[in-house]
Amino acid sequence: MFSIIQAAGWPIWPLIACSILALALIIERFISLKTSKVAPPKLLDEVLNVSRTSVPSPDVVSQLEQNSALGEVLASGFRALNASPRCSEDDLRSSMEGAGRVVAHRLERYLSALATIASAAPLMGLFGTVVGMIEIFGSQSPTSGAAGGNNPGQLAHGISIALYNTAFGLIVAIPALIFWRYFRGRVDGYLLTLELASERLVRHLNTLRK
């Protein structure tokens, strides 16, 4: 492996740094976007059962808020109702939408960085290719004959830089792009779940107040 890095030359080091960063971001997003941490499947039904006859106490709402991202959004509705029992439906929705935007921002964290790596890695590989081409042309001596003017070692080194950097740029970019699209789709699905759950809770709370 180290011999490949040596053959690829110094342009490979930014790509290696990007690959390490991309791997760290992918692992972090896998941990943070677990269903149990974002939208537990049975949480909404449990919340509706608990609040069937009355609005939960502040202690119960605090526990709900710490449960998951969905719990945080649902808890904001209960908090708004506890703070102002006669608040309008628009105020209730506005409170939950504000909490939803905060949660959405947290779910989308680092996705832009992963997308940037997916876009920049091929360009960095191309930069390494250009450096390799410069090495290749530098191996040609303008003052000597065609047979004696070539430096085989420098020529081979330039070819290695060009090929290794191109390949490594694609190796970094392709998985980063795949995982970015995967996480993007997963976040969109979670946001839809949060929106539908919020709408259901709003209708439930309006029924509860009547």
Distance of CA 181 to the CA centre of its chain: 9
Domain parsing of the chain, residue ranges: 2-209
- Tens of pLDDT, residues 136-177: 776 665 554 444 456 666 777 777 788 888 889 999 999 999
Per-residue pLDDT tens digits for 29-48: 999 999 999 999 999 999 99
Q: Give the model's pLDDT for residue 140.
A: 63
Q: Are 82 and 51 spatial neighbours (Cβ–Cβ below 8 Å)?
A: no
Which residues of the chain register pLDDT less than 70?
Answer: 1-8, 138-153, 209-210
pTM, rounded to two decimals? 0.83
